[in-house]
Amino acid sequence: MHSSTKQASRRRFIRSSFSVLATAAFGYSHVATAAIQPESVTVWKTPTCGCCKDWVIHMRKEGFNVVANDVADTAPIRQKVGLPAKFGSCHTAQAGGYVIEGHVPASEVKRLMREKPAAIGLAVPGMPVGSPGMEMRGEMLGVRDAFDVVLVTADGSSRVYQSYAAKTATKSRFKS
């Protein structure tokens, strides 16, 4: 094979490889764009609840696009979205067609969106210390009650989706 024939073949190979890569990149760019779009979360909370505000901040820091709605009472919202009262907490949210009740960590909401189980949604009943939005400060920094994130099914039953162990306080760097 002559040198000019080798160069021509190499050029054709490089051009066709580039063309395939460019087509693949362009053809699948919508998939990459969809993957980086933040999931929208709509939350209903009372206007005076500081832990709800902190949970909204947590979700935004984790990449969620959060729309917060202040309401006088969240119980009617829970009833409207079909979440049994026994799973109630201080705020109710919806994301990707699921109900998110209480101080559910963003990592579990992301997992829910990936796995897409047949369920109403996730709940952290009550207000466990150290859950997202319920973090402690000062001498209690790092303390966390043990808590479960539960997956609530259409029949109103639930199962543990993820458990979080209790943590004890870390020593403060500041002396009183």
Spatial contact of 44 and 102, defined as CB atoms under 8 Å apart: no
Let me know how many helices (H) and strands (E) the chain has, helices first.
Answer: 5, 7
CA distance linking residue 171 with residue 141, whole number of Å: 8
**pLDDT tens-place string over residues 111-149:** 999 999 999 999 999 899 999 999 988 778 889 999 999
User: Tokens 């760019």 map to which residue?
Assistant: 29
Percentage of residues in the chain with pLDDT exceeding 70?
Answer: 74
Q: What is the Cα Rg of the chain in Å?
A: 24
Per-residue pLDDT band for 3 (boundaries 50, 70, 90) equals low
Residue type, 20: V
Spatial contact of 57 and 66, defined as CB atoms under 8 Å apart: no
Percentage of residues in the chain with pLDDT exceeding 90?
Answer: 64
Q: How many CB atoms lie within 10 A of CB 34?
A: 8
- CATH, domain range 41-164: 3.40.30.10
Q: And the tokens for 59?
A: 């979700």
* pTM as predicted: 0.75
Nearest to 100 by CA among 45, 47, 49, 142: 45
Q: In the predicted model, is pLDDT for residue 166 greater than 50?
A: yes
Long-range contacts of 146-149 (CB under 8 A, 24+ apart): 148/124, 149/104, 149/105, 149/108, 149/122, 149/123, 149/124
SS (H, E, C) 111-152: HHHHHCCCCCEEEECCCCCCCCCCCCCHHHCCCECCEEEEEE
Give me the mean pLDDT over the 167-176 stretch. 61
